[in-house]
Amino acid sequence: MGSYILKRLISAIPVLLGITVIVFLIMSMIPGDPATAILGSYATPENVEKINRDLGLDKPMVQRYFIWLGNMLQGDFGRSFSLNRPVLDEVLERFNATLVLAGTSFVLCSLLGILAGVVSAARQYGFADKAITFTVLIGISVPSFFLGMMMILLFAVNLKWLPVSGMYAIYGGGDLPDLIRHLIMPALALSAVATGVIARLSRSAMLEVLRQDFIRTARAKGVRERKVIMGHALRAAMVSIIPVLGIQAGFVLSGAVYIEIVFQWPGVGRMLVDAILTRDLLLVQGGVVFVAACYVLFNIAVDVAQSLLDPRIKT
């Protein structure tokens, strides 16, 4: 197992390099003078000169890429001009908040989605199946940002059950219950679509598995039906569910951008949007590379989980 993880980590290196190349290429599409674009139009001449020197903008592109990459490897993602602090510090701080939100949503959508799919398959064509199928259809059709806004209207404004937005209360908050109260709505809104997708997939994966011969064998052995479904069938279905969980994690991370805007969540998505609107390009660049790299590592974790589940995968 250890060697498999190592092998996967090594195979991630070209992907990570590819990510930096792509981001670099996209950023070099910026029209006009990059230094001014990066620093904004109110940049002082000294600053323009400094960034030209730091990024080596007078040098050829290939060389520039390696300077940038080398700096990043040393933990230097540049400096955000709008916040006047190192990009990496800001990204790390914001990413923490995103991780809380997206992580919670991911756990939620995985658990709820798989559970709904299993129940739906086990009660195929029954009331529960129809109710779940209908809910899922609605769930995957509502844009998460609209769902979030409607939740604010209902639960925060009308029912006053939950705070409207933010991560902590401004006065007197800051503890875990406070965080949870703030987290409920955004996490639910963010997980809705992914829950639906996972539920659908789990249902069809379960239906596929339940028709297999080994399920009949389990029943012929006299295994209790609950165990047939939750053990034999779900275990086999997980083989096709887990890769989709990995893909959905990407969608949850993407959706977090909208949800962070709607709920004023101080995460990396909102940071990126603000950075784009203020043309703080080094912040965008650093944020994108950092989050994409985290996602690549997460996908390795998914692969490892898959290999733990399925002994047929050669490790």
Dihedral, CA of residue 100, residue 87, residue 283 and residue 186, to nearest 10: 10
Q: Is 57 in the site for other proteins (CB under 8 A)?
A: no
Our finding on whether 59 is near other proteins (CB under 8 A) is no
Residues 6+ positions from 70 with CB-CB distance below 8 Å: none
Amino acid sitting at position 179: L
Q: Checking phi first, is residue 56 left (phi over 0); if not, alpha (psi -120 to 50) or beta?
A: left
Asked if 236 is part of the footprint of other proteins (rule: CB under 8 A), the reply reads yes
Q: Which of 48, 99, 184, 239: binder of other proteins (CB under 8 A)? A: 239
- Does 87 interact with other proteins (rule: CB under 8 A)? no
The residue range among 61-69, 89-97, 174-182, 276-284 that interacts with other proteins, by the rule CB under 8 A, is 276-284
- What is the Cα gyration radius of the chain? 23
Q: Which of 13, 22, 111, 230 binds other proteins (CB under 8 A)?
A: 22
Q: Which two tokens stand for residue 187?
A: 């996490």
Nearest Cα neighbor of 92 from 290, 298, 250, 280 is 290
CB of 118 to other proteins, least distance (A): 11
Tell me the two tokens of residue 18. Answer: 């590819």
CB of 176 to other proteins, least distance (A): 27
HEC string of 139-197 equals HHHCCHHHHHHHHHHHHHHHCCCCCCCCCCCCCCCCCHHHHHHHHHHHHHHHHHHHHHH
Give yes or no for residue 219 binding other proteins (CB under 8 A).
Answer: yes
145 lies in the site for other proteins, by CB under 8 A: yes
> Tokens 């939950």 map to which residue?
162
Count the site residues for other proteins by CB under 8 A: 84
Taking CB under 8 A as the binding criterion, the range among 41-49, 62-70, 87-95, 272-280 that sits at the site for other proteins is 272-280
Q: Which residue from 253, 263, 265, 267 is in contact with other proteins, where contact means CB under 8 A?
A: 253
Residue 175 CB, shortest distance to other proteins, in Å, is 27
Stretch in the footprint of other proteins (CB under 8 A) among 50-58, 82-90, 108-116, 283-291: 283-291
Query: Does 264 sit near other proteins (CB under 8 A)?
Result: no
Is 144 buried (19+), middle (13-18) or exposed (0-12) by CB count in 10 A? buried
d(CA 242, CA 99): 20
Q: Using the rule CB under 8 A, give the single segment among 51-59, 109-117, 180-188, 292-300 that binds other proteins.
A: 292-300
In the region spanning residues 162 to 181, those forming contacts with other proteins, defined by CB under 8 A, are 164
Judged by CB under 8 A, the residue of 41, 73, 213, 314 near other proteins is 213
Please pick, from the candidates 138, 180, 230, 301, the single residue that binds other proteins as defined by CB under 8 A.
Answer: 138
6: its two tokens: 């190592």
Contact flag: residue 284 with other proteins (CB under 8 A):
yes
- Residue 7 touches other proteins, criterion: CB under 8 A: no
